[in-house]
Amino acid sequence: MTPCRSVVAAASAALTLVILPGAARADGEGPQITIYNQDFALVRMVRSLRLKVGESEVRVGGVTATLEPDSVVLRDRKDPKGIRILEQNYEGDPLSPGFMLRRNEGKVVAFQSINPATGKKEIVSGRVIRSGYAPQQAEMPAGGLTPIVEVDGKIQFSLPGEPLFEALGADAILEPTLLWRLWSDRAGERDVEISYLTSGIGWQATYNAVAPEKGDRFDLVGWITLTNQSGTEFKDADLNLMAGEVSKIQPRRALVMLGEAAMKAPSAPPPQVTEKAFDEYHLYTLPRPTTLRDREVKQVEFCRGTDVPAERLYVYDGAQMGTYGGWDVEMARSRPDYGTESNTKVFTMLEFINNKASGLGIPLPRGTMKIYRVDTDGARQFVGENVVDHTPAGEKVRLYLGNAFDLVGERRQTNYRVDAGKENADESFEIKVRNHKKGPVEIRVVEHLVRWATWKIVTSSDPYEKTDSRTIEFRVKVPPEGEKILTYQARYSW
């Protein structure tokens, strides 16, 4: 820390203050943006600054309206120690009616209005006591502060017309801008790298899977959807996309709602998005520079799989355990009716493995997968969607698509008995699954043993698999237009 203090002291002794018109973009250097799938981004850009020896004042535009000022880093690419930021101001609220009214609070402003009787324009002067606008608001907030204007010695709680302001000077700020007081150890042009974090830029993955009329193999296309609501356009930007859960304290500023748009894919086969592991996350790099316009939504294909093998699963989880969230442990153990309310729906699931043998095999970022099936007429019909979590290569993906129309489940408790002397309890269930399809199906019947940690299955009509410490699963075949009944008895001990 001592060298920094001594440099500033030396510069202050012989201050040369030069206000520069701005920072030029270095030739061939487009911005580099790393976008995180948590709706924020790291922006890096190179600018050429012409500085004097000692102190200079510099204005850098082209930054976002959602920039985090305390994240700004400035570095001379060749001589990191030769330049310092002595003072930084961030003007994230460029020229707007709200900005101008706030700047003129306490001053007399001319207002133009239309006389309803004559239809002619009239000019009235009023002193702006309170503008009614808050920072970052270009329009009058609904239900927010009310403007207060004094006209002819009287107070009114509205603007008397459209405000007319004095002409602007050459230093007017028309876009979000960083204003710096810099110290430089030498005069001349310097290429500096500026980086900062910003909200308002995000990305998400979406997947479209199309299955044929029969069978569950499918073709998959993965899209990256980029959104820019930062208030700034980025031209010819090199984009990296970070997938993973990065610890980030979100700023209090509200995020703008995203719109909808699409970009047509080029006719020639495009270069593929590349992927690599980075720290504890995965980094995806777009193959070519991309222009991100403000308030734009853009899509880029990043993966494609053909004839991906998959398996359709039918799962019946009959116990509606979620309705008992308010019960304490003792009630769950002692009440015979705990966990006996029955669900009748049979879930439809789609399962596949994300590996090279399936035609995939790259880490899949979290996103929504939509499933389509081709009907007998060759048209695609939407049959369900669900969220794919961050999935490493080689891992299994299981998607819930909805509830099967022609499959029904029924579950009832047939016995419950507590033997206090032996410190155990017996519980019996009967489960029916009915198939109204024209072909046989396999249904996975899931049961949860949750009353006590210690349990065993005393009798069972069908074989089962213990999938975890408190769950068993039966795999039963149900004939077409038929029914399958299974029973079991569990014994709990303490």
The strand order across the sheet containing 482-493 reads: 454-460, 482-493, 424-435, 396-419, 345-353, 311-317, 441-448, 471-478, 465-468
63: in domain: no
Predicted confidence band of residue 216 (pLDDT cuts 50, 70, 90): confident
Q: What is the mean pLDDT of residues 290-317?
A: 90
Read off the DSSP letter of residue 357.
Answer: G
Pairing of strands 380-388, 367-374: antiparallel
Q: Is residue 466 part of a domain?
A: yes
Q: How confident is the model at residue 11 (pLDDT cuts 50, 70, 90)?
A: very low
What is the reported pLDDT for 118?
86
Answer yes or no: is pLDDT of 266 > 60: no
Confidence of residue 171 (pLDDT cuts 50, 70, 90): low
Quote the pLDDT of residue 8.
Answer: 31
pLDDT of residue 252: 43
The 10s digit of each residue's pLDDT in 198-207 is 999 998 889 9
Residue 327 confidence (pLDDT) above 60: no
**Residue where one domain finishes, among candidates 164, 199, 222:** 164
- Structural domain range at position 139: 97-164
Residue, of 120 and 464, whose pLDDT is higher:
464
pLDDT reading at 40 higher than 50: yes
- Whole-number pLDDT of residue 345: 94
Structural domain includes residue 467: yes
Asked if 102 and 123 touch (Cβ cutoff 8 Å), the reply is no
Q: What rounded mean pLDDT belongs to the chain?
A: 80
Residue 141: pLDDT band (50, 70, 90) is: very low
DSSP-assigned states of every residue in 413-472? EEEEEEETTTTEEEEEEEEEEEE-SSS-EEEEEEEE--S-SEEEEEEESS--EEEETTEE
pLDDT of residue 459: 96
pLDDT band, residue 142 (cuts 50/70/90): very low
Residue 83 lies in a domain: no
User: What percentage of the chain exceeds 90 in pLDDT?
Assistant: 31
Q: Which domain-ending residue is among 164, 188, 219?
A: 164
Q: Could you tell me the pLDDT band of residue 263, with boundaries at 50, 70 and 90?
A: very low
Mean pLDDT for 194-198 is 93
Residue 183 lies in a domain: no
Query: Which of 164, 179, 202 delimits the end of a domain?
Result: 164
Tell me the pLDDT band of 460, cut-offs 50, 70 and 90: very high
Q: Is the model's pLDDT at 255 over the cut of 50?
A: no
The reported pLDDT for the residue numbered 175 is 77
Fill in the DSSP letter of residue 100: H
Output the six-digit token pair for 319: 């116990």
pLDDT class for 60, splitting at 50, 70, 90?
A: confident
Which is more confidently placed, 253 or 176?
176
pLDDT at residue number 228: 93
State the total domains in the chain.
2
| Run of H or E residues at 36 | strand 32-36
pLDDT of 2: 32
At 250, the pLDDT band (50, 70, 90 cuts) reads low
Phi, psi of 146 (to 5 degrees): -95, 135
Would you state the pLDDT for residue 23?
56
Judge whether residue 194 has pLDDT over 80: yes
Instruction: Answer yes or no: is 16 within a domain.
Output: no
Among 14-23, 94-103, 123-132, 153-162, the minimum mean pLDDT is found in 14-23
What average pLDDT does range 395-419 have in this prediction?
A: 91
pLDDT of residue 441: 96
Question: d(Cα 47, Cα 60) in Å, to the nearest integer?
Answer: 9
How many residues are recorded in the chain? 494
In a domain, 11, yes or no: no
Give a yes or no: residue 267 inside a domain.
no
Identify the band that residue 174 occupies on the pLDDT scale cut at 50, 70 and 90: low
Report the range of poorest mean pLDDT among 160-169, 198-207, 251-260, 368-377.
Answer: 251-260
Judged against a pLDDT cut of 90, whether residue 472 lies above it is answered with: yes
Whether the predicted pLDDT of 386 surpasses 50: yes
- State what percent of residues in the chain have pLDDT above 70: 78
